[in-house]
Amino acid sequence: MTADETRNPCISAVPMSPRERLYSAPALFLWAALVLVAGVLLAFLVAPIDASSMGFSQKIFYFHAPIAETALVAFGVSFVSAIVSLRRGAEHASGVGEQLEVAAVRLGLVFSGLVLVTGMIWGRAAWGVWWAWEPRLTTFLLAVLVYAAYFVVRAAVDDEGRRAVVGSVYAIVAFVTVPITFFATRYLPEGLHPVVITSSGARMEGSMVLAFVVCTAGMLLLLAALLRTEVTIARAQAHVSRVKEEIERRQAAGPAPDRAGVATPGGAAERGEPMEGTGRSTR
Partner 1 sequence: MSRRQYLALVRRDLLGETRRLQSLLSMVIFAVVAMVVLHYGWHAGAGSAWAADGSGAVPAAMLWVVFVFAALLGLGRTFAHEREDDCLDALLLLPVDRFVLFLAKATTNLLLLVVLQAIVVPVFALFFLDVTAWRLLAFVPVALLADVGMAAVGTLLATLVLHARSRDLVLPVALLPLLVPLLIAATSATEAVVDQGAGLGSIAGRLGFLAAYDAVMLLVAWGTYDILVSE
- Name the residues that contact partner 1, by CB under 8 A: 86, 89-90, 93, 133, 138-139, 141-142, 145-146, 148-149, 151-153, 155-159, 161-162, 165-166, 168-170, 172-174, 176-177, 180, 187
- Count of other CB atoms within 10 angstroms of residue 262: 8
Q: Which is nearer to partner 1, 66 or 119 (CB)?
A: 119
- In the bound complex, what is the minimum distance in angstroms from residue 187's beta carbon to partner 1? 8
- In the bound complex, what is the minimum distance in angstroms from residue 207's beta carbon to partner 1? 37
Query: What are the phi and psi torsion angles at 32 (to 5°)?
Result: -60, -45
- In the bound complex, what is the minimum distance in angstroms from residue 97's beta carbon to partner 1? 13
Q: Which is nearer to partner 1, 13 or 152 (CB)?
A: 152
Three-class secondary structure assignment of the chain: CCHHHHCCCCCCCCCCCHHHHHCCHHHHHHHHHHHHHHHHHHHHHHCCCCCCCCHHHHHHHHHHHHHHHHHHHHHHHHHHHHHHHHHCCHHHCCCHHHHHHHHHHHHHHHHHHHHHHHHHHHHHHHCCCCCCCCHHHHHHHHHHHHHHHHHHHHHCCCCHHHHHHHHHHHHHHHCCHHHHHHHHHHHCCCCCCCCCEECCEECCCHHHHHHHHHHHHHHHHHHHHHHHHHHHHHHHHHHHHHHHHHHHHHHHCCCEECCCCCEECCHHHHHCCCCCCCCCCCC
Q: Which is nearer to partner 1, 102 or 174 (CB)?
A: 174
- In the bound complex, what is the minimum distance in angstroms from residue 171's beta carbon to partner 1? 10
- In the bound complex, what is the minimum distance in angstroms from residue 169's beta carbon to partner 1? 5
- In the bound complex, what is the minimum distance in angstroms from residue 104's beta carbon to partner 1? 18
Q: Which is nearer to partner 1, 39 or 135 (CB)?
A: 135
Q: Which is nearer to partner 1, 96 or 173 (CB)?
A: 173
- In the bound complex, what is the minimum distance in angstroms from residue 31's beta carbon to partner 1? 33
Q: Which is nearer to partner 1, 57 or 138 (CB)?
A: 138
Q: Which is nearer to partner 1, 159 or 205 (CB)?
A: 159
Angstrom CA distances, 130 to 116, 117, 118, 184, stand at: 10, 9, 10, 20
